[in-house]
């Protein structure tokens, strides 16, 4: 799909954001592993969440779509229906499922897009080799055998926290106790804390022994219940940027006590000089003059694309550190944003782990932009396009369906003119 963004002032409306995709994956999986019935409220059906739902059904969980909530009857034992488990493009789905697959008596076959299967799985490969568990990673599939064993497990903490979440979910189902020892640096720790919180809400206890060691008692049981998923701070970044760069906007409703790592977007914007007010569970983002600063992406890599785009309007040179994990996301997000922002006249450059963006008040499109099949690239470019000097065309804009299918509808609600064309 090709989308044309016509620049203009947005209307200061209220945007209700979708649920946290990170939390939705965790709630759905835990509910499927729990005894009894669970209702998961405020669900947003995007491609990634549908992938997780589909696979849990292959494990014999009964999941009924009630439009704005899911009714889930959990399973007492993981069963596999011998279908290939298609994770599509969801890294969370794939990495959360692999350890669960290693609890099943027979080989389990997983697949996904070529880009997904290119993403590193070294943490599992090394662990399973040590435990003599089959793990075959091909260009078009991953084959997982049995059995994952309890005990002390060492993992690298600087690749992705998704590996730790996957292990926590699986190890909690084993009879004996386990300890996960994380080799520093421990990147994206807030995502692990989200996992522990959700597991705790289903009756599973995970404890920090110290900053780099997690203890999981064996023989625990997930217990079903009713759960409400909070709004997504990762998606807040896009409409927050619209309000600050354009004409103000009200966005919500949020859990002020949230442990989502991307909640830091509010503090980052304030550090850059953004005018932000709190209105109950909503934020008011007002047009602001921004100044360059240094931004650490270690615990919030998903904010990178929007912050790169936003920093084009910050006076000075904005420096991003601990950015290298953006290179192994749905796209190489650093290279993708460099390629596309340069088409808008932006001076941006990087090394392996840092990105530098210079102030460019005049955004002018000199070519058609490419979404790189990456939802966050498309959304970041779309927001910046609203303040361009000419129309901006984005190819591959359908990628938003991965996390925020109604993104362009919400942009239109804010009275930004958006037109779509099939390629």
For residue 172, the 8-state DSSP code is T
Structure tokens at 236: 């807040």
Q: Identify the burial level of 381 via C-beta atoms within 10 angstroms of its C-beta, where 0-12 means exposed, 13-18 middle and 19 or more buried.
A: buried
CA distances from 237 to 169, 220, 304, 308, 380 (A): 29, 37, 10, 11, 9
Calpha distance 121→141 (Å, rounded): 12
3-state SS assignment for residue 349: strand
302 belongs to the catalytic site: yes
- 135 within 8 A of 143, measured Cβ to Cβ: yes
- Please answer whether residues 244 and 288 qualify as being in contact, where contact means their C-beta atoms are separated by less than 8 angstroms: yes
Q: Which of the following is catalytic: 302, 367, 374, 410?
A: 302
> Within a 13 Å sphere around the CA of 127, how many CA atoms are in the beta-carbon half?
27
For residues 212 and 181, is the Cβ–Cβ distance under 8 A?
A: yes
CA distance 410 to 238: 11
DSSP, residue by residue, 78-105: ----S--EE-TT-HHHHHHHHHHHTTSS
Question: CA geometry: angle at 258 spanning 309 and 398, to 5°?
Answer: 40
- Spatial distance between the Cα atoms of 295 and 269, rounded to a whole number of angstroms: 10
Active site residues: 302
């Amino acid at each position: 799909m090709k989308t044309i963004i016509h620049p203009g002032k947005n209307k200061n409306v209220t945007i209700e954001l979708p649920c946290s995709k990170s939390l939705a994956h965790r709630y759905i999986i835990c509910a499927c592993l729990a005894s009894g019935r669970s209702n998961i409220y405020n669900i947003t059906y995007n491609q990634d969440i549908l992938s997780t739902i589909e696979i849990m059904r292959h494990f014999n969980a009964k999941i009924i779509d009630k439009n704005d909530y899911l009714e889930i009857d959990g399973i007492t034992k993981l069963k596999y229906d011998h279908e290939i488990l298609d994770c599509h493009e969801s890294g969370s789905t794939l990495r959360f499922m692999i350890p669960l697959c290693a609890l099943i008596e027979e080989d389990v076959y997983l697949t996904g897009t070529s880009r997904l299967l290119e993403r590193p799985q070294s943490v599992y490969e090394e662990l399973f080799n040590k435990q003599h568990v089959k793990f075959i990673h091909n260009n078009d599939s991953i084959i997982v055998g049995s059995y994952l064993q309890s005990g002390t497990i060492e993992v690298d903490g600087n690749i992705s926290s998704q590996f730790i979440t996957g292990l926590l979910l699986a190890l909690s189902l084993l009879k004996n106790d386990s300890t996960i020892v994380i080799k520093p640096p421990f990147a994206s720790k807030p995502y692990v804390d989200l996992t522990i919180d959700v597991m705790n809400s289903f009756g599973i206890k995970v404890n920090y022994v110290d900053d780099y060691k997690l203890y999981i008692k064996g023989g625990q049981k997930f217990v079903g219940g009713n759960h409400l998923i909070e709004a997504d701070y990762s998606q807040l970044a896009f409409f927050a940027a619209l309000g600050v760069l354009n004409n103000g906007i009200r966005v919500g409703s949020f859990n002020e006590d949230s442990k989502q790592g991307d909640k830091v977007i509010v503090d980052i914007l304030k550090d850059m000089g953004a005018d932000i007010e709190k209105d109950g569970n909503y934020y008011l983002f007002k047009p602001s003059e921004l100044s360059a600063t240094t931004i650490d992406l270690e615990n919030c890599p998903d904010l990178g694309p929007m912050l790169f785009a936003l920093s084009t309007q910050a006076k000075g040179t904005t420096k991003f550190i601990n950015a290298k994990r953006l290179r192994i996301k749905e796209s190489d997000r650093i290279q993708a944003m460099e390629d596309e922002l340069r088409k808008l006249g932006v001076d941006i450059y990087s090394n392996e782990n840092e990105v530098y963006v210079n102030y460019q008040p005049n955004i002018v499109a000199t070519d058609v932009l490419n979404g790189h099949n990456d939802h966050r690239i498309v959304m970041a470019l779309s927001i910046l396009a609203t303040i361009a000097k000419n129309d901006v065309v984005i190819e591959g804009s359908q990628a938003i369906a991965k996390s925020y299918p109604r993104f362009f509808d919400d942009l239109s609600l804010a009275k930004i003119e958006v037109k779509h064309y099939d390629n």
